[in-house]
């Protein structure tokens, strides 16, 4: 049964409830511009009624504040996080593809002999300029100035290749550093989330109220994390160990990164950066010190995981993308005594069927099933088979693996820097060998036999490579020629008379049979994927342009989708000034009425106590 002063208690409960509602509304208004803030509200219900033991039945007991909760729809959070990873991946891809495109279309190499070269920022124009100069030599082969012009344009062309190659390798270093930065950011966010999980559980488990502002901070961290990697979140209630039916008010908050646990409650894993050594490079074109990742708990981390996405995946795709053209094959035989394994030619990818497309590092790691074996060198025999010279004792591991599939590196379905660098190498090697085969063995202006026109520079001693013929490694093979060291032999730069124009100068210095053959290289058919030399260059630029445009389009699409999802999310959880202003008036009126009720009840009790006494 209610007490005599029960009316005051009811009025007091109303004052408390609407005081809390006014404070919450003020809190919402003050955080209208706070990043990630989720609108809060007071959850209130009618207090449990009391029995009156009369025909009146139950007596109302006022209002009870059950807690201060948030307007949040986790469905839109999941949609936002999923799209955010796709947007981060597309934007990062576009940013770096645009740089690659600019390197090819915007770079220039100044040339003192022909100032127009410095104005040519088109990749294809450099190639055309060299052959235009060759046409001029064919018109007057004894003219020294024309010869110099061609040799200098050829040198400018190789310098252009060197410049592009160096630019792309520097870009690979930059991407590698950004991978390090993103990994550090992931680890930092994981630590902060774990700390917030602990703080939230301490508050919600001890005072039975929601730590809304801490939850907002945690959600902001998840938003940031979802830009970098795909995330999934799970919140599991913690039950009382003595009474499994009772919730403790605390939760185990789990965050998974690409399917693997990053945070679980107050515990978290981190990603560890492992720098590759000289003996661990994956591609011939790779710079030294690229990072691989693994979990701090010892589990492997795969950047090619189908569940991967976000900025981190885009960075790995740009840094390691090989268009699924990594080396792979089948073991034909193992020679334990010689410490070698032989991979049959027929089992390797098409790109590795000739020395032109080989992008294997001179020494590295070859994977056989789940075993990783180091090799010190490799060679291609006369039949095109690959022979890997393993480090001492490792052939015994491979001894029982004849017929097993092997690979070097991973297959990455993206045209990244390794792919474009290997294409530059392929063109440099094939073009240099084709040119040299025509030029070598013919005569210069003085009737002397000449050798290779194009060569490469040894990275160790700086000497010129004596490039040999054939489709195999060993000695100064064309495998050692890359777009990085591609150049014109110094003897031709110093003395233009050494350029061969004919096979027999005795028939006259105006003979240009060699030049006519060299000119045919400009439009040589079946040079690259069934196309000509000129089409190779155009095809490479087209590939880059298409990749750039695709990533730009995807970036815009995901950005528009993200804005739509964010608007939907804000329509539920965002603070609206007009709505909060209306709430202020509503709660103020309710508070005033509760205060009025208390005033009236006070007057009633004054009369009852002071004026009705006997």
Residue 349 domain-assigned (yes or no): no
pLDDT the model gives residue 54: 66
Q: Give the DSSP H or E segment for 225.
A: helix 212-228
On the question of pLDDT at 398 being above 60, the answer is: yes
Please choose, from the candidates 356, 401, 410, 414, the residue with its C-alpha nearest in 3D space to the C-alpha of residue 380. Answer: 356
On the question of pLDDT at 118 being above 70, the answer is: no
Tally of domains in the chain? 1
Q: Give the separation between CA 419 and CA 294, rounded to whole angstroms.
A: 25
Domain that holds residue 44: 1-71+583-614
Q: Give the separation between CA 427 and CA 439, rounded to whole angstroms.
A: 18
Q: Give the separation between CA 412 and CA 302, rounded to whole angstroms.
A: 11
Q: pLDDT: is 400 or 382 the higher one?
A: 382
Q: What is the pLDDT of residues 293-338, one digit of tens each?
A: 999 988 888 888 888 999 999 999 999 999 999 999 999 888 888 8
Q: What is the pLDDT of residues 330-384, one digit of tens each?
A: 998 888 888 889 999 999 998 898 888 999 999 999 998 888 889 999 998 888 8
Tokens representing residue 581 in the block: 């202003």
Q: What is the pLDDT of residues 512-551, one digit of tens each?
A: 899 999 999 988 887 777 778 877 777 888 888 889 999 9
Q: pLDDT: is 603 or 116 the higher one?
A: 603
Residue 80 domain-assigned (yes or no): no
Query: In the chain, pLDDT over 90 holds for what percent of residues?
Result: 60
Kindly report the average pLDDT of the chain as a whole number: 88
Q: Give the separation between CA 472 and CA 479, rounded to whole angstroms.
A: 8
Tokens representing residue 356 in the block: 């032109």
On the question of pLDDT at 208 being above 80, the answer is: no
Q: What is the pLDDT of residues 214-249, one digit of tens each?
A: 999 999 999 999 999 999 999 998 887 787 777 778
What 462-465 contacts at long range (C-beta under 8 Å, 24+ apart), as own/partner pairs, is 464/489, 464/490
Residue 12 domain-assigned (yes or no): yes
pLDDT the model gives residue 460: 84
Q: Give the DSSP H or E segment for 175.
A: helix 144-206
Q: Give the separation between CA 340 and CA 334, rounded to whole angstroms.
A: 6
**Residue 46 carries which DSSP code?**
E
Residue 492 domain-assigned (yes or no): no
CA distances from 592 to 18, 28, 169, 587, 601 (A): 9, 21, 72, 8, 14
**Composition of the chain by helix, strand, coil, percent to 5:** 50, 15, 30
On the question of pLDDT at 115 being above 50, the answer is: no
Tracing tokens 């007991």 back to the chain, one arrives at 61
**β-strand 231-239 against 405-408: which pairing, if any?**
unpaired
Q: pLDDT: is 61 or 472 the higher one?
A: 61
Please choose, from the candidates 527, 514, 356, the residue with its C-alpha nearest in 3D space to the C-alpha of residue 428. Answer: 356
Q: pLDDT: is 5 or 167 the higher one?
A: 167
Tracing tokens 């022909």 back to the chain, one arrives at 114
pLDDT the model gives residue 258: 82
Query: In the chain, pLDDT over 70 holds for what percent of residues?
Result: 94
Tokens representing residue 400 in the block: 């029982």
On the question of pLDDT at 257 being above 50, the answer is: yes
Contacts of 205 (CB under 8 A, 6+ apart): 248, 249, 250
The answer to whether 406 touches 330, Cβ cutoff 8 Å, is yes
Tokens representing residue 567 in the block: 């608007």
pLDDT the model gives residue 51: 77
On the question of pLDDT at 399 being above 70, the answer is: no
In whole angstroms, what separates CA 205 from the centre of its chain? 40
On the question of pLDDT at 192 being above 60, the answer is: yes
On the question of pLDDT at 614 being above 70, the answer is: no
Residue 5 domain-assigned (yes or no): yes
Partnered with residue 94 across adjacent β-strands are none
Residue 613 domain-assigned (yes or no): yes
pLDDT the model gives residue 375: 92
Tokens representing residue 352 in the block: 């590795």
Tokens representing residue 270 in the block: 């981190």
Residue 207 domain-assigned (yes or no): no
Partnered with residue 264 across adjacent β-strands are 254, 267
The backbone region for 223, taken as left when phi is positive above 0, alpha when psi lies in -120 to 50, beta otherwise, is alpha
The answer to whether 9 touches 47, Cβ cutoff 8 Å, is no
Measured in residues, the chain has a length of: 614
Q: Is the dihedral of CA 362, 340, 290, 107 positive or negative?
A: positive
Task: Please work out, in degrees rounded to the nearest 5, the angle formed at the alpha carbon of residue 97 by the alpha carbons of 118 and 187.
Answer: 130
End-to-end CA distance of the chain: 25
Q: Residue 121's CB: how many other CB atoms inside 10 A?
A: 14
The answer to whether 28 touches 40, Cβ cutoff 8 Å, is yes
Residue 208 domain-assigned (yes or no): no
Model's pTM, two decimal places?
0.88
Partnered with residue 245 across adjacent β-strands are none
pLDDT the model gives residue 217: 95
Largest CA distance in the chain: 149
Please choose, from the candidates 237, 257, 254, 253, the residue with its C-alpha nearest in 3D space to the C-alpha of residue 245. Answer: 237
The answer to whether 398 touches 370, Cβ cutoff 8 Å, is no
**Residue 306 carries which DSSP code?**
T
Q: What is the average pLDDT across 124-136? A: 88
């Amino acid at each position: 049964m209610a007490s005599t002063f029960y009316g005051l208690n009811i009025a007091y409960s109303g004052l408390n409830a609407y005081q809390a509602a006014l404070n919450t509304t003020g809190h919402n208004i003050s955080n209208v511009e706070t990043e990630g803030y989720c609108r809060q509200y007071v959850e209130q219900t009618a207090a449990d009624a009391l029995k009156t033991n009369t025909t009146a039945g139950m007596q109302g007991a006022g209002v009870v504040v059950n807690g201060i909760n948030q307007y949040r729809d986790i469905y839109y959070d999941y949609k936002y996080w999923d799209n955010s990873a796709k947007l981060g991946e597309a934007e990062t891809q576009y940013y770096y593809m645009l740089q690659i495109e600019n390197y090819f279309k915007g770079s220039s190499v100044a040339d003192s002999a022909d100032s127009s070269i410095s104005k040519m920022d088109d990749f294809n124009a450099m190639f055309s300029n060299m052959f235009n100069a060759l046409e001029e030599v064919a018109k007057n082969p004894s003219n020294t100035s024309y010869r110099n012009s061609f040799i200098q344009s050829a040198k400018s062309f190789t310098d252009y290749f060197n410049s592009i190659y160096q630019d792309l390798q520097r870009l690979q270093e930059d991407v590698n550093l950004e991978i390090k930065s993103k990994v550090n950011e992931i680890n930092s966010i994981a630590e902060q989330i774990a700390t917030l999980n602990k703080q939230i559980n301490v508050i919600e488990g001890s005072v039975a109220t929601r730590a809304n502002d801490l939850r907002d901070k945690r959600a902001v961290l998840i938003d940031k994390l979802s830009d970098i990697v795909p995330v999934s979140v799970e919140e599991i209630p913690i039950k009382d160990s003595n009474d499994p039916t009772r919730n403790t008010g605390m939760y185990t908050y789990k965050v998974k990164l690409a399917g693997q646990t990053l945070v679980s409650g107050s515990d978290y894993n981190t990603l560890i950066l492992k720098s590759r050594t000289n003996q661990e490079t994956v591609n011939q074109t790779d710079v030294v010190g690229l990072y691989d990742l693994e979990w701090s708990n010892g589990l492997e981390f795969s950047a090619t995981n189908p569940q991967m996405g976000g900025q981190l995946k885009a960075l790995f795709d740009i840094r390691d993308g090989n268009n699924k053209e990594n080396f792979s094959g089948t073991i034909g035989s193992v020679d334990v005594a010689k410490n070698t394994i032989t991979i049959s030619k027929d089992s390797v990818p098409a790109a590795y069927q000739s020395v032109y497309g080989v992008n294997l590092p001179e020494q590295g790691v070859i994977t056989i099933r789940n075993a990783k074996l180091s090799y010190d060198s490799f060679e291609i025999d006369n039949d095109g088979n690959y022979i890997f010279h393993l480090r001492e004792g490792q052939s015994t591991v491979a001894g029982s693996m004849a017929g097993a599939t092997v690979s070097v590196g991973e297959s990455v379905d993206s045209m990244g820097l390794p792919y474009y660098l290997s294409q530059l190498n392929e063109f440099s090697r094939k073009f240099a060998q084709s040119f040299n085969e025509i030029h070598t063995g013919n005569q210069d202006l003085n009737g002397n036999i000449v050798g290779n026109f194009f060569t490469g520079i040894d990275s160790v001693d700086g000497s010129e490579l004596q490039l040999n013929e054939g489709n195999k490694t060993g000695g100064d093979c064309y495998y050692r020629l890359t777009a990085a060291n591609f150049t014109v032999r110094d003897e031709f730069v110093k003395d233009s008379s050494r350029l061969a124009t004919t096979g027999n100068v005795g028939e006259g210095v105006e003979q240009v049979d060699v030049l006519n053959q060299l000119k045919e290289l400009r439009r040589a058919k079946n040079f690259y994927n069934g196309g000509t030399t000129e089409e190779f260059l155009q095809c490479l630029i087209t590939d880059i342009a298409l990749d750039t445009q695709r990533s730009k389009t995807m970036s815009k699409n995901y950005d528009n989708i993200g804005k739509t999802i964010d608007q939907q999310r804000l329509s539920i959880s965002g603070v609206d000034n007009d709505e909060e202003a209306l709430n202020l008036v509503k709660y103020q009126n309710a508070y005033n009425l509760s205060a009025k009720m208390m005033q009236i009840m006070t007057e009633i009790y004054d009369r009852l106590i002071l004026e009705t006494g006997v």
